[in-house]
Chain A
Amino acid sequence: MSISLLIGVGALTSIGVYLITARTLSRIILGFVLLGHAAVLALLTAGGPSGAAPIAGGDAALANPLPQALALTAIVISFGLTLFMLALAVRQQTLTGDDLVEDDLEDQRIAQLAAENEHEADR
């Protein structure tokens, strides 16, 4: 197992986590893309050492094709999700002028309710 790839997975995870915990939607999307890369690299790393491209007929030792097939799906799906989130960010920016993630409206209402209860208990 290649230490280089392991470090790559770890570093991309770290940076991705750092970015998705931001308040700006555009940064969250960046972090999401990096986490996607980390996941794909992790699949390849777990699948075995590198080798020749998995095309039948050659003499050299082939790379494991199974994680590659899984990784392809992962790439395509995270691609779709990324673009969708991007569209959400752009829409929010058009409507409100920024792309900050606000606290959930319904949850704010519950907090309001709790505060009212406390207020009543004080009286």
Chain B
Amino acid sequence: MLWTLLIAHLAGIVVAGVAGRRGIRAGLAAAAIAPAATATWAISRLVGDADPATAELVWVAGLDLGVSFRLDSMALMMTTLVSGIGTLVFVYAIGYFSAGADGGVRFPTALLAFSTSMLGLVWADSVWTLFIFWEFTSITSFLLVGHKNTSADVLRAARRALMITGAGGLVLLAGLLLVAEAAGTTTISELGPITGSSASVAAILVMVGAATKSAQFPFHVWLPGAMAAPTPVSAYLHSATMVKAGVLLVAVLSPAMIDVDAWLWTGLAFGVTSMLWGAIGALRQRDAKLILAWGTVSQLGLLVTVLSLGSGKALFAGISLLFAHALFKAALFLVVGEVDIRTGTRDIAELGGLARSMPIAAAVAALAGLSMAGVPPLLGFMAKEAAIEAGLGLSGPERWIALGAITGGSVLTVAYTLRFWIGTFGPGPATEVAPRRLAMTAPAVLLALAGVLGYVFAGQVTDIVGPAAVEANEKASVYELIRWPGLKTAFVISIGIVAAGTALGWFLSARPVGAAPRTVGADAADETIEATLRFAPDITARVQHGSLPVYLATMIIAVIAATMPFFASAEIDHLVLWDRPLQAGLVAVTIVAAATGAVVGSRLGATLTLGAVGIGVSGIFVVHGAPDLALTQLVVETVIVVGFVLGFGSLAREFPRSSESWQTIRLVLSVISGIGIMSALAFAGSRPTGTAPIEALTDEAVDVGGGKNVVNVILTDIRALDTLGEVVVLATVAVGILALARVRADEVEAAS
């Protein structure tokens, strides 16, 4: 079934592309089909009690290479979110874009491609598969952020997002490799607890990778910039799904990291700073969408904090928060998009009085905002209660850090939520409003109502998030979402949070809105990217200078270096002057001929000495007892000499001279390489590892090959396929030479 769904998505991309030619709305409608089908299927499995579905495509079995998917409870919950919210976003986008908008093919296909990648990511059961789809989401996100590709700012923001998440992906890969190495398996569902120093390094690397994707401080700088994307993209990728990938990874890998201290502390460091810095950022913004974006940084920080705690209670709370956040944050973004489209602005200093003119949007924003603030009777309240309970259940210093951060971050969350709602919908000079578009309103209403229904049907939601959390920690099975806890410590803290947050939010809303602040660190990130782009050609120009002789010299030096180990076992006892005296004479003739060829000034002279060398070598073969080689060499040599004479007939007769210094380098290199190869060969021969299987080969040639010439039998029987390959090579060369020899008149013109 997983393959069917994936193929349906891929087919959907094609169909959306075709439909998109007729307008962006047709493309979006076509693209919505596959996610809608997937969401329906996922929900049917949520209701029924199904075993995990798996799908696998083995490439190299011994190396665990291949694509492998596993739809466990966690993946099923994420599938429901990805495809469910995805479907709503596609419908919403139909209302968001005007019928004649640009990018009718590009936008729906890219958005569906993202949806597909995200499914692959949440289904992935091997570290390879996870990494590949992780990077796919980065790339599709880049395409979607840069949708309005005419503005330099937008393109810069898109590039920043790609660079940070892409680089984070590489760090993640390094971490995953270490995890797989330490755990002895690349299958994620089989990962056991890992320990040791490499586990600590792996924990930090994975956490950094997760932090880049989930916009954790200081990598969060890409997220506000990514708000340049159309709002459906922001709602889908940058609040509900893609930025959850890092958080999801923290949950999925927590069974492996349960004994690694570095995991907890790196996670807390990222989570706590992001939660607070993101919330402060949200309080300083005046663009409603940016308030939400900074709020997302903060909320993701909360998720990372809670999930990295690793206890059963924390996993249960974290997954509940993740589920709740996807619903309310998507709803808030959809509302902001509607406000943007209907009023033409998102600036809370300009907006006002929308509660009267856009009552449905205001109600949706209120419901979703209250869920975000953690107020009953909404899903977000129960999730936040669970998070505080998880903090209370800890011991040691992390208890106070986690509790302090959750409390502080939540107070700020209540404050910026209130400021967002008052700034957008609260009292003020009434903003002019365009008519409502049903396609935009309906998805937002559904998502906001989900928050209410989630509270009413707390038991059913527990049945969704509970098993998902159990995948990461078995102890999570005993917890459930509680509608009304009574006056327990956590509830008292919750009341305090809402009270303090409301007071702070009220106070800040009353103050005049200041100028929009710049994202601290965004310029530095851009500078780094620019500097890298300038730096790369400098390095490349030095390493890859383009001179063939220098490349060759580099390789020769490497070969010389490779001969060095042989000098460690320098023995000469096995050496004799010659096998037969004639051998020495022939070698001398060959060397003289070769040396003459190297120094002779004319090409024709060089060609003739080449022939002499070939004959000399043939002689050596004869003396050595290799008549087959000698005969072949003679034939080959004849053809080569004829070829040289034909080819060089048209060339200038004299070789041009090369520069003095290069000449010296060549001489030194050639002498050293000759001595190196010769000595390596001599020393390697001092310790034969056995005797040559001459008799065995001879017997086999007669018995099996039915021939007496052993060399021939080896070539035509034992290595027949290799010989066939050789023939193919020669035929290919012949065809190539034929093609090269034909020179058309226009090619001569082009070259000159």
Contacts and interface: CB of A to CB of B under 8 A. Distances in A.
A21 B697 CA distance: 41
B674 A13 contact: yes
Given A1-B682, A21-B549, A91-B740, A38 B677 contact: yes
A42 B741 CA distance: 34
Interface in B662-703: 662, 665-667, 669-671, 673-675, 677-679, 681-682, 684-685, 692-694, 697-699, 701-702
A63 B666 contact: no
Contact of B556 (A17, A55, A106, A121): A17
Contacts of A16: 670
Contacts of B669: 17-18, 21
Given A55-B710, A69-B714, A90 B579 contact: no
B626 A87 contact: no
Nearest to B748: A95
A100 B673 contact: no
A95 B702 CA distance: 54
A62 to B, nearest CB: 5
Chain A at the B interface: mostly helix, strand, loop or mixed? helix
B583 interface: yes
B598 A15 contact: yes
Interface in A8-50: 8-24, 26-30, 33-34, 37-38, 40-42, 44-50
Given A76-B632, A86-B644, A64 B594 contact: no
A2 B538 CA distance: 50
Given A56-B702, A76-B636, A117 B534 contact: yes
Contact of B537 (A27, A51, A113): A113
B681 A30 contact: no
Contacts of A48: 692
A113 B751 CA distance: 24
Contact of A80 (B633, B655, B656, B729): B729
A107 interface: yes
Nearest to B585: A4
Contact of A81 (B603, B702, B733): B733
A23 B666 contact: no
B651 A99 contact: yes
Given A30-B597, A45-B685, A52-B625, A98 B652 contact: yes
Contacts of A28: 548
B658 A4 contact: no
Contacts of A69: 711, 714-715, 719
Given A45-B685, A113-B537, A72 B666 contact: no
Interface stretch (B27-35, B501-509, B570-578): B570-578
A52 B548 CA distance: 43
B681 A9 contact: yes
Given A42-B681, A110-B541, A14 B674 contact: yes
A89 B647 CA distance: 8
Q: Chain B: interface residue count, which band?
A: 35 or more
B308 to A, nearest CB: 42
A64 B692 contact: yes
A11 B617 CA distance: 13
Nearest to B560: A17
B541 A26 contact: no
A45 to B, nearest CB: 6
Chain B at the A interface: mostly helix, strand, loop or mixed? helix
Contacts of B626: 44, 53-54, 63, 68, 71
Interface string A98-113: 1111011011101101
A67 B514 CA distance: 84
Contacts of B723: 73
Given A4-B584, A21-B552, A65-B698, A54 B625 contact: yes
A72 B692 contact: no
Contact of A117 (B537, B587, B640, B665): B537
B515 interface: no
A10 B711 contact: no
B594 A12 contact: yes
Contact of A20 (B552, B583, B652): B552
Contacts of B650: 90, 93-94
Contact of A22 (B658, B673, B736): B658
B698 A33 contact: no
B229 to A, nearest CB: 31
Contacts of A111: 541, 545-546
Contact of B730 (A1, A34, A76): A76
Contacts of A3: 575-578
B3 interface: no
B715 A72 contact: yes
A107 B643 CA distance: 32
Contact of A49 (B579, B614, B651, B697): B579
A10 B349 CA distance: 84
B21 interface: no
B709 A55 contact: yes
Given A3-B576, A79-B639, A90-B741, A110 B625 contact: no
A45 B681 contact: yes
Nearest to A45: B681
Contact of B577 (A4, A17, A54): A4
Interface in B142-164: none
Contacts of B640: 33, 79, 82-83, 86
Interface string B609-629: 010011001001101111111
B434 interface: no
Nearest to B646: A90
A12 to B, nearest CB: 6
B622 to A, nearest CB: 9
B545 A26 contact: no
A65 B697 contact: yes
B540 interface: yes
B544 interface: yes
Nearest to A82: B640
Contacts of B682: 1, 6
Contacts of A76: 632, 636, 726, 729-730
Nearest to B699: A56
Contacts of A12: 590-591, 594, 613
Contact of B540 (A20, A88, A110): A110
A80 B711 contact: no
The 4 tightest CB contacts between A and B, nearest first, are: A107-B546, A14-B674, A10-B678, A63-B625
29 contacts: A2-B575, A2-B576, A2-B577, A3-B578, A11-B674, A13-B673, A16-B670, A27-B655, A38-B677, A49-B579, A50-B625, A52-B625, A54-B709, A56-B698, A56-B701, A64-B694, A65-B701, A65-B710, A66-B697, A68-B629, A71-B626, A75-B636, A83-B639, A84-B736, A87-B741, A107-B545, A111-B545, A114-B541, A115-B541
Interface of A: 1-24, 26-30, 33-34, 37-38, 40-42, 44-57, 62-66, 68-69, 71-73, 75-77, 79-84, 86-91, 93-96, 98-101, 103-104, 106-108, 110-111, 113-115, 117-118, 121
Given A4-B587, A44-B626, A65-B694, 19 more contacts: A6-B678, A13-B677, A14-B671, A18-B598, A21-B669, A30-B597, A47-B692, A56-B699, A56-B708, A62-B710, A63-B625, A66-B697, A68-B626, A69-B715, A73-B722, A76-B632, A80-B733, A84-B733, A103-B545
